[in-house]
Amino acid sequence: MDWHELRSEAQVDEITEGSASIPVLIFKHSTRCSISAMALSRFERQWNNGGGEIKPFFLDLLKFRNVSDYISSKFKVQHESPQVLVITGGTCVYHAAHNAIDVDDVFEQINN
Identify the pLDDT of residue 49. 55
- Give the pLDDT of the chain (112 residues) as one tens digit per residue: 789 999 999 999 999 999 999 999 999 999 899 999 999 999 998 887 555 689 999 999 999 999 999 999 999 999 999 999 999 999 999 999 998 999 999 988 888 7
Output the CA torsion sign for 49, 98, 12, 20.
positive
CATH code of the domain containing 11? 3.40.30.10
Instruction: Give pTM, 2 decimals.
Output: 0.93
What is the DSSP track for 44-68? HHH--S-S---EEEEEETTT-HHHH
What kind and span of H or E run contains 25? strand 24-29
Looking at the structure of the chain, the number of domains it has is: 1
Instruction: Name the residue range of residue 34's domain.
Output: 4-110
Identify the pLDDT of residue 52. 66
Note whether 29 and 23 are within 8 A (CB).
no
Identify the pLDDT of residue 61. 93
Identify the pLDDT of residue 112. 75
Identify the pLDDT of residue 86. 97
Strand ranges of the sheet holding 91-97, from the earlier edge strand across to the other edge: 4-5, 55-60, 24-29, 83-88, 91-97
Note whether 15 and 90 are within 8 A (CB).
no
